[in-house]
Amino acid sequence: MYRILVINPGSTSTKLAIYEDENLVSKDTVRHTSEELSPFKHIADQYEFRKEVIKNFLEKSGFPLSSFSAIIGRGGLLRPIPGGIYEVNELMKEELRQGKFGEHASNLGALIASELASDVGIPAYIADPVVVDELDDLARFSGHPDFERKSIFHALNQKAVARAVAEQMGKKYDEVNLIVVHMGGGISIGAHRRGKVVDVNNALDGDGPFTPERSGTLPMTQIIDLAYSGKITYDEMKKRIKGNGGLVAYLKTNDALEVQRKVEEGDEYATLIYKAMGLQISKWIGKMAAALSFQVDGIVLTGGLAYDKDYMVKWLTEHNQYIAPIYVIPGGDEEKALAEAALRALRGNEKVKKYPPKEVNNA
């Protein structure tokens, strides 16, 4: 039996879980107020604060560190790397401490996992961080050499549900072609070709369908006109793209459940906007089908919006069932996905990679 500690730091919370093989033993989400986090100028400064939260969780759970087989943290903002499981090493930790490729609370996952694991001589891992980059060379071209398409998406959940659907099919992940649609506050739609995400929209920086709070791909000339109009600041412009876009801009809320209630009550405008978001998602599913030469074994709907079977799932099924069978795996259990990755490493079912892999040279 393998006992695994999962550490998943988010912007305003620390999610923790203990698994024994595939079985969840204990789980907690510790919320952090803005007052608690305000003294920390940089994400790395939160290190001791977050570590204390984790130690308290372990004390309450009754499991000493020495009883664990491995610790896995949510992967942070690193250089672009292929998907997989990585053992935390000194270079990875140094880049995360420096915030070399960006600052995010998830950077702390590997750092804390490594320190706790080293105290008891067990491995520390990360798996499938948001910077997973397996794009085909052709998918990198944007249309102008000054701009390259980047791979930033919900890699951990996308790959976890892709493996689960492949298993349902009686196949391995690297034997199938899937389109995975993660629908949350951000929406990423990936073309999975035999175990690699060969094309995906950049869910962070304004690429793809509009979402509960992001504008997605916008008409470029209109963006340029607004940016140079003198009526809007740089920060306000960024907020139009991410934070104040999508459902927030149209309906003044990023709560999809509230929008669904409006639809149920017969609000025609809310229904129009919600359907428009569904249509944009369908268009991107079509793009990813083209990236797979329309050889698609299945379309997987996941993330929070996949719970909406009466509207969003129904609409997407109606639009896309002609491409491939639809599979629905709601939510996005990152702790479970991380525990499964650590278990594959411990059992020798997947080779653990060294950071950075030799084939990546983008320091």
Quick check: 18 pLDDT over 50? yes
Q: If you search the block for the tokens 């003294």, which residue do you land on? A: 39
Tell me the mean pLDDT in the region 144-151: 95
Domain count, the chain: 2
Quick check: 362 pLDDT over 60? no
Tell me the mean pLDDT in the region 234-244: 92
- Residue 290: per-residue pLDDT: 98
**Are residues 88 and 208 located together in one domain of the fold?**
no
Q: If you search the block for the tokens 């102008």, which residue do you land on? A: 144
Residue 353 domain flag: no
Model confidence band, residue 348 (pLDDT cutoffs 50, 70, 90): very high
Model confidence band, residue 193 (pLDDT cutoffs 50, 70, 90): very high
Higher per-residue confidence, 33 vs 261:
261
Model confidence band, residue 357 (pLDDT cutoffs 50, 70, 90): confident
Residue 127 domain flag: yes
Residue 21 domain flag: yes
**Are residues 178 and 320 located together in one domain of the fold?**
yes
Quick check: 153 pLDDT over 50? yes
**Are residues 340 and 319 located together in one domain of the fold?**
no
- Residue 70: per-residue pLDDT: 98
Half-sphere exposure of 33 (CA within 13 A, CB side): 2
Q: Which of 202, 139, 133, 190 is nearest to 359 (CA)?
A: 133
Tell me the mean pLDDT in the region 251-276: 96
Residue 329 domain flag: no
- Residue 359: per-residue pLDDT: 62
pLDDT tens digits along 260-271: 999 999 999 999
Higher per-residue confidence, 69 vs 36:
69
- Residue 10: per-residue pLDDT: 85
Q: 95: domain CATH number?
A: 3.30.420.40
Domain that holds residue 15: 3-131+335-347
**Are residues 294 and 218 located together in one domain of the fold?**
yes
**Are residues 187 and 320 located together in one domain of the fold?**
yes
- How much of the chain exceeds pLDDT 90, in percent? 88
Residue 352 domain flag: no
Quick check: 316 pLDDT over 60? yes
- Residue 363: per-residue pLDDT: 40
Q: HEC profile for 142-180? A: EEECCEECCCCCCHHHHHHHHHHHHHHCCCCHHHCEEEE
pLDDT tens digits along 56-78: 999 999 999 999 999 999 989 99
Task: State how far the Cα of 296 lies from the Cα of 299, in Å rounded to an integer.
Answer: 8
**Are residues 95 and 123 located together in one domain of the fold?**
yes
Residue 11 domain flag: yes
**Pairing relationship of beta strands 13-20 and 147-148 according to DSSP bridges:** unpaired
Model confidence band, residue 360 (pLDDT cutoffs 50, 70, 90): low
**Are residues 186 and 158 located together in one domain of the fold?**
yes
Q: Which of 1, 161, 168, 6 is nearest to 71 (CA)?
A: 6
Model confidence band, residue 42 (pLDDT cutoffs 50, 70, 90): confident
Higher per-residue confidence, 205 vs 194:
194
Residue 179 domain flag: yes
**Are residues 279 and 309 located together in one domain of the fold?**
yes
Element (H, E) at 239: helix 234-241
**Are residues 109 and 185 located together in one domain of the fold?**
no
Residue 356 domain flag: no
**Are residues 124 and 171 located together in one domain of the fold?**
no
**Are residues 109 and 202 located together in one domain of the fold?**
no
Quick check: 361 pLDDT over 50? no
**Are residues 89 and 187 located together in one domain of the fold?**
no
